[in-house]
Copies of this chain bind each other. A is one copy, B any other.
Amino acid sequence: MTISPQIPPSRLAPTTQLSIDLGDRGYQIQIGCGLLDREDCVACGAKSSQALIVTNTTVAPLYAERLQRVLAAHHSRVDTIALPDGEVHKDWDTLNLIFDRLLGDGFDRKTVIYALGGGVIGDMTGFAAACYMRGVAYVQVPTTLLAQVDSSVGGKTAINHPAGKNMIGAFYQPLRVIADLDTLDTLPDREISAGLAEVIKYGPIADDDFLGWIEQHIDALRARDKSALAHAVRRSCEIKAWVVGQDERESGLRAILNFGHTFGHAIEAGLGFGTWLHGEAVGCGMVMAADLSVRCGLIDGAYAARIARLIERAGLPIRGPRLGASRYLDLMRIDKKSESGQIRFVLIDAPGRAGVHPADDALVAEVIDAHSV
């Protein structure tokens, strides 16, 4: 295994900070090991303000007590609410459990909410913070690889609606993001792979060198080598931060972060949310989007094959469920990127560069048929 020069050879990566530049909504991402035990890393907001940790029933027994203990030194009061786990609960009823708790227990407008968990917890907690009393502060404490490299950065918050994923939400930036790599130790292998889908994504859309680095380190990443993970998380966040800094509210460039997501959302929605992990659907969706890029004449087949091979090595599915092309198309038409019923795909324009394109339904159907079983 080769470690690239910029990565220290120790398995225990040092803490690094990354600044997200969004003017008065800017914030810091802290990446490293052992961060959850450090009050100086974790605690945010006004001294003696109230705090609520929002987590789920899977993560709570692992980390909630530790976080609550560390925060107790900073806040006048720290409570925890553990929501049911899973994408299927990313809905209004579950969101309302947070509001019921906040209002029932008298949490005021200076409250800081800590999102301790994966992408679902981060998205729901961020949206709760955006809406509670028209906005309170929140901190992202992502405990999955997917959340550390993607969903906790960029301020997208949301819940699902029966008619579509993430359809109800807000752009709302956290006070800080704390990515403690140690929390990845308790993650099932399947979720490490799902997180790697979003890491791989940054290569073809923004940084072809990074794609090469991931190819070299894919086994180390799956083995949870902390140095490799530290670089993967940092570089992913850097790329995402750069893109979000250009286009906070997704009026243009930011859409490229959805590479693989249009097909992926159709898989998730078609099977019922929660059947496949989000990262699994995105992994398979990237294979489809790469093939569509080839069929649209944008890249050659070898580059698409290279991406598919890496996705497979990450332990991700490269074939989608056979829902039928017309069902895929129907599901994709309600994607947020659609305009007047026209589906818009993120395609690879060249290695390391992506753009948003329409595509003929017939071509899309060919791709779906070629990559579903």
Residues in chain A within 8 A of chain B (CB atoms): 50, 76, 92, 96, 99-100, 103-104, 106, 108-110, 130-135, 156-158, 161, 163-164, 166-171, 249-250, 333-334, 336-341
Contact = CB atoms under 8 A, between A and B. Distances in A.
Contacts of A134: 156-158, 166, 169-171, 249-250, 336
Contacts of A110: 339
B341 A133 contact: no
Contacts of A104: 163
A100 B167 CA distance: 11
A342 to B, nearest CB: 9
A100 B339 CA distance: 18
A133 B103 contact: no
27 contacts: A50-B340, A76-B340, A92-B92, A99-B161, A100-B163, A103-B163, A103-B164, A103-B167, A106-B341, A108-B336, A108-B340, A109-B337, A109-B339, A110-B339, A131-B131, A131-B168, A131-B169, A131-B170, A133-B167, A133-B169, A134-B156, A134-B157, A134-B158, A134-B169, A134-B170, A134-B171, A170-B170
Given A96-B92, A170-B134, A333 B106 contact: yes
Q: Tell me what chain A mostly uses at the interface: helix, strand, loop, or mixed.
A: mixed
Given A134-B169, A167-B132, A249-B135, A109 B340 contact: no
A300 to B, nearest CB: 33
A156 B334 CA distance: 29
Contacts of A132: 167-168
B103 A135 contact: no
B339 A135 contact: no
> What copy number does this chain have within its complex?
2
A136 B170 CA distance: 10
Contacts of A249: 134-135
A58 B336 CA distance: 33
A333 to B, nearest CB: 7
A110 B340 CA distance: 9
Contacts of A336: 108-109, 133-134
Contacts of A158: 134
Contacts of A133: 167, 169, 336
B163 A108 contact: no
A166 B110 CA distance: 17
Contacts of A171: 134-135
A168 B102 CA distance: 11
Contacts of A339: 108-110
